Each structure stands twice: as C-alpha cells, then as structure tokens.
Amino acid sequence: MAQFDEAAVRRRLTADLEQIQRDIYERTQGEQAITSSMEASNGTGISSEQADEASAVAEYDRNQAMLENDRALSRKIEAALERLDAGKYGVCERCGQPINPRRLEALPYVTLCVNCQAIVERAV
C-alpha cells in the first residue's frame, strides 16, 4: 500500500534528474565548463600569472567536486526511479518498514528510514 502519490513522485524525480543532467552538461560542455589549469596555460605548463593559475586551479577543483556531487545524486535518483518501477519505493532497504512520507518528500531518493539511517551513521 503506497503512502505517497506515485505519479507525483515520478514527476518530481524525473524533473530533478533532468535538471541535474542539464547542470552536468553545463559544467562539462556548456558555458560553465572549466578546463584544467594545464589546458588553460600557455602550453608550457606555466601560466602568465601565478595568482591567476591558483584561482583557475581552485575553480577547476570546485567544478570537479560539484560534478561528482551531481553525478552521485543522479545515480541516487535513477535508483529511486528503479525502485518505484519495481514497487519497492518508500520501503527501507535495511528493515523493510515504510519510510516516513515526510522524509521521502524532503529526500525522495532515500533508501533508509530515519532509525536505520541513524544506526548506519553510528556504525561509520
């Protein structure tokens, strides 16, 4: 027995996934794409200004971290859509109990109920 509106969940997950895919595209191929500092240098591996080089490296690293976060979230959303298709969405993977609908509303890709999440976090 579903405790949520399956169609609404699917629409939200799909919209979130599409937005993340657009973000990934922008960070890798679009206007926000940033190349590594070596690619941006004058070909010798030495830029004309060390301060600009440091700033470029920091911006590239930040972009890479954001890309990895986007890719990880994309995988979580895709897995949530698969669970929805399989009829397992909203069920804790650890204890098999329903996940609180308010938790699912806040984080629609979660796989653990609050209690199991706490247990897992304490074990780490």
At residue 1 the predicted structure's pLDDT band, cuts being 50, 70 and 90, is very low
CB of 58 within 8 A of CB of 34? no
For the four alpha carbons of 50, 52, 55 and 57, in that order, the dihedral sign comes to negative
**Mapping DSSP to helix (H, G, I), strand (E, B) and coil, where does residue 98 land?**
strand
70: amino acid identity, one letter: D
47 vs 6 pLDDT, higher one: 6
pLDDT at 38: 45
Number of CB atoms found within 10 A of residue 76's CB: 19
pTM of this prediction? 0.78
The predicted-structure confidence for 20-60, as pLDDT tens digits, reads as follows 999 999 989 988 787 765 444 445 555 567 777 777 788 88
pLDDT above 70 covers what percent of the chain? 88
The predicted-structure confidence for 9-20, as pLDDT tens digits, reads as follows 999 999 999 999
pLDDT at 55: 79
